[in-house]
Amino acid sequence: MQPEAAVVTAPLLTPGQIAATADAIEACQQPDGLILWFDGGHADPWNHVEAAMALASAGRHLAAEAAYHWLTANQHAAGSWHNYYIADGIKDPKIDTNCCAYVAVGVWHHWQATGDRGFVEAMWPTVERALDFVVGLRKSSGHIPWAVHANGTPWPYALLTGSSSIAHSLRCGVALARLLGRRRPDWKRAATEIERLIRHRPDSFEPKDRWAMDWYYPVLCGALEGAQARAHLAAGAPKFLLPQGVRCVADQAWVTAAETCECALAYLRTGDIATARRLVEATSAMRNDDGSYYTGWVVPKSRTFPDAERSSYTAAAVLLATDALDQRTGAAGALITTPAG
């Protein structure tokens, strides 16, 4: 029997569409580098980094680096950032540990996209302070509280989604340290312990199983792998997957483009290219002529929710997922592989 011929697929986005979506993200970037969710809205460090990664994947390296410079300029001495910022100040002063750690993922992605070691060296102190802050909050159980109050008191529980992302951030931090000839075994131990908890004690995290992110994030961030990851995705698919994309919340008829693209990356991690591609293709219904994307879509009524909202992080998720599938850049695998280190 002859082997089946390889299927050649067209890129998910044309160069012109990629440029338009990058323009839509840059339109939300402030002169100091901060990337708001939308014009007049707020920003958070996690989605700010995601937008910077998307700009790098579109070749907008200077705009991406401006976003990282904002992080360096606004990092607290302890290594953290506030939860929400607006163009001229702070909206929510509490600290989200996952958001603080994510800078390591962004810097690792930028290194893979550009090969600019000088950028990594310049950002290393920012990454090191951020991850040291996060790991410094670790409890004896291995859990890291999801947030810290403005007065410095940690929240009493950890979240599965945030912890999955923190583990990935720590792995990226270890890889950056190795690139620079340094060693951070404490970060590696912390990541290993979080992954162990995710695999064997998922009930030890605050229950949020109505949300799709708690379903696919353990796979997306590599805590669950191989057959276990595939079985995990299969178990949750009936609850969250619709023809129009991924439900943000299991009991709500609301599909979001960002969650759909992140979930596609989780499937791609397991080797299920067909499902990943189908999910990303579904987001085309939320694309606007200017390259921006609606945040959410109520089905089957095909009504936007929040009403007519177009968010930079949604556009960013689409660019990153299409890069992972189409392999446009050297950073295409940054979000679907665990760095060695």
User: Cis link prior to 218 (omega < 30° from 0)?
Assistant: no
% of the chain residues with pLDDT over 70: 97
Can you give the residue ranges of every domain in the chain?
15-326
Q: At 302, is the pLDDT very low, low, confident or very high (cuts 50, 70, 90)? A: confident
Average pLDDT over residues 56-62: 98
3-class DSSP state of 182: coil
Average pLDDT over residues 133-150: 97
CA 333, chain centre distance (Å): 13
Least confident of 60-64, 125-129, 190-194, 295-299: 295-299
Q: pTM higher than 0.75, yes or no? A: yes
CA dihedral sign of residues 320, 241, 209, 36 = positive
pLDDT one-digit tens code per residue, 154-184: 999 999 999 999 999 999 999 999 999 999 9
What is the rounded distance in angstroms from the CA atom of residue 22 to the CA atom of residue 53? 11
The encoded tokens of residue 147 equal 């947030």
pLDDT one-digit tens code per residue, 99-109: 999 999 999 99
CA 188, chain centre distance (Å): 20
Q: Which residues contact 309 (CB under 8 A, 6 or more apart)?
A: 38, 294, 295, 296
3-class DSSP state of 245: strand
Q: What is the mean pLDDT of the chain?
A: 95
The predicted pLDDT at position 219 comes to 98
Q: How many CB atoms lie within 10 A of CB 115?
A: 10
Q: Would you list the DSSP string of 148-170?
A: E-TTSPBPS--BHHHHHHHHHHH
The predicted pLDDT at position 301 comes to 82
Q: Which segments within 247-306 are labelled E, that is strand?
A: 254-256, 296-298, 303-304
> Residue 37: pLDDT above 50?
yes
The predicted pLDDT at position 127 comes to 98
Average pLDDT over residues 71-95: 97
Tell me the β-bridge partners of 246. Answer: 241
> Residue 79: pLDDT above 80?
yes
The encoded tokens of residue 319 equal 């660019």
Tell me the β-bridge partners of 29. Answer: 35
Total residue count of the chain as it appears in this document: 341
Q: At 3, is the pLDDT very low, low, confident or very high (cuts 50, 70, 90)? A: very low
Among 314, 203, 197, which Cα is nearest to 255's? Answer: 314
The predicted pLDDT at position 328 comes to 96
The predicted pLDDT at position 154 comes to 96
The encoded tokens of residue 292 equal 């921006």
The predicted pLDDT at position 2 comes to 35
Residue for token pair 């951020």 = 130
The encoded tokens of residue 307 equal 């009403």
The predicted pLDDT at position 9 comes to 78
Provide the CATH topology of domain 15-326: Glycosyltransferase (1.50.10)
pLDDT one-digit tens code per residue, 242-288: 999 999 999 999 999 999 999 999 999 999 999 999 999 999 999 99
